[in-house]
Amino acid sequence: MSFPLGAILTPDGVNFALYSKNATQVFLLLFDKPDGEPTDIIQLSNRDKFIWHAWVKGLKAGQLYGYKVHGEYRPKWGISF
């Protein structure tokens, strides 16, 4: 589901949706501890226009997560991944 944006808790998991016009790849990283390594890395392969999204079954409130986003590096144009 591409909307709403953010991490949206559902009864069976969490829907993640992130806007990026210039991204070429987006990965969702799941963590068990704030200072730990990712326990899972999920590529967001669903994209509607500029919204990358994925629904992850079984996740609950309090799940630690972050994103790793790839794209061009053109600081003069304001693009820096």
Residue 66 has pLDDT above 90, yes or no: yes
pTM (predicted TM-score):
0.87
Residue 24 lies in domain: 6-71
Residue 79 near residue 73 (C-beta atoms within 8 A): yes
Residue 61 near residue 4 (C-beta atoms within 8 A): no
Give domain status of residue 35, yes or no.
yes
Give the pLDDT of residue 34. 94
Q: Is the peptide bond before 4 cis (omega within 30 degrees of 0)?
A: yes
* Mean pLDDT value across the chain: 93
> Which residues face 30 on adjacent strands?
40, 65
Give domain status of residue 77, yes or no.
no
Structure confidence by residue, pLDDT tens digits, 13-35: 999 999 999 999 999 999 999 99
CATH of the domain at 36: 2.60.40.10
Q: What domain count does the chain have? A: 1
> Which residues face 46 on adjacent strands?
53
